[in-house]
Amino acid sequence: MPKRLYARSLIIIIAPMVLLQSVIAFVFMERHWQTVTQRLSTAVVRDIAGIIDLMDAFPQDQGYENLIRISRERLALNISILPADPLPAPGPKPFFSILDGILSEEITKQINRPFWIDTIGDSDLVEIRIQLEDRVLRVFARRSQAYASNTLIFLVWMAGSALVLLAIAILFLRNQIKPIQQLATAADSFGKGRAPPPDFKPRGAEEVRRAGAAFIVMRERIERQIEQRTTMLSGVSHDLRTILTRFKLQLALVGNKVDTEAMEQDIEDMQSMLEGYLAFARSEAEEETGTFNLERFFAKLKEEGALLERGFISSIRGEPEIHVRPNAFSRLISNLVSNSFRYAKNVSVAAEHREGWLTITIDDDGPGIPKEMRDEVFKPFFRLDEARNQDAGGTGLGLAIALDIARSHGGDITLDESPTGGLRAVVRIPA
The pTM of the full predicted model, rounded to 2 decimals, is 0.52
For residues 212 and 202, is the Cβ–Cβ distance under 8 A?
yes
pLDDT at site 345: 92
- Of 91, 119, 151, the residue at which a domain comes to its end is 151
For residues 312 and 338, is the Cβ–Cβ distance under 8 A?
no
179 Cα distance to chain centroid: 15
96 Cα distance to chain centroid: 41
For residue 118, what is the domain's CATH number?
A: 3.30.450
Query: Is residue 226 a part of any domain in this protein?
Result: no
Give CA–CA dist 17/9, Å, rounded.
13
Query: Is residue 182 a part of any domain in this protein?
Result: no
Query: Is residue 362 a part of any domain in this protein?
Result: yes
Query: Is residue 175 a part of any domain in this protein?
Result: no
Give CA–CA dist 78/116, Å, rounded.
16
pLDDT at site 184: 84
- Of 116, 151, 186, the residue at which a domain comes to its end is 151
Report the side by side order of strands in the sheet with 125-131. Answer: 77-83, 135-142, 125-131, 115-118
Q: Which H or E run includes 424? A: strand 423-430
Which among 259, 191, 244 is positioned nearest to 219, based on CA atoms?
Answer: 191
What is the extent of the structural domain holding 340? 287-430
- Of 131, 151, 171, the residue at which a domain comes to its end is 151
pLDDT at site 45: 92
Beta strands (DSSP E) in 64-134 are 77-83, 115-118, 125-131
3-state secondary structure of 337: helix
Query: Is residue 227 a part of any domain in this protein?
Result: no
Beta strands (DSSP E) in 177-221 are none
Cα separation values, 255 from 153, 258, 264, 267, 270, Å: 109, 7, 12, 16, 21
Query: Is residue 373 a part of any domain in this protein?
Result: yes
DSSP 238-269: HHHHHHHHHHHHHHHHHTTSS--HHHHHHHHH
* Tally of domains in the chain: 2
Query: Is residue 208 a part of any domain in this protein?
Result: no
Residue 355, phi-psi category: left (phi > 0), alpha (psi -120 to 50), beta (remainder): left
Q: Give, for all 431 residues of the chain, the pLDDT tens digit.
A: 777 777 788 888 888 888 888 887 777 766 777 788 888 899 999 999 999 998 888 887 878 888 889 999 899 999 998 888 888 888 777 666 677 888 888 999 999 999 998 887 667 888 899 999 888 999 999 888 887 766 667 778 888 888 888 888 888 888 888 888 888 888 887 776 677 777 788 888 888 888 888 888 888 888 787 777 667 766 777 677 777 777 777 777 776 666 667 677 777 767 776 776 666 555 545 567 788 999 999 999 999 999 999 999 999 999 999 988 888 889 899 989 998 998 899 999 999 998 888 999 999 998 888 888 888 888 876 776 544 444 444 566 788 888 888 888 888 999 999 998 899 999 999 87
Query: Is residue 238 a part of any domain in this protein?
Result: no
For residue 348, what is the domain's CATH number?
A: 3.30.565.10
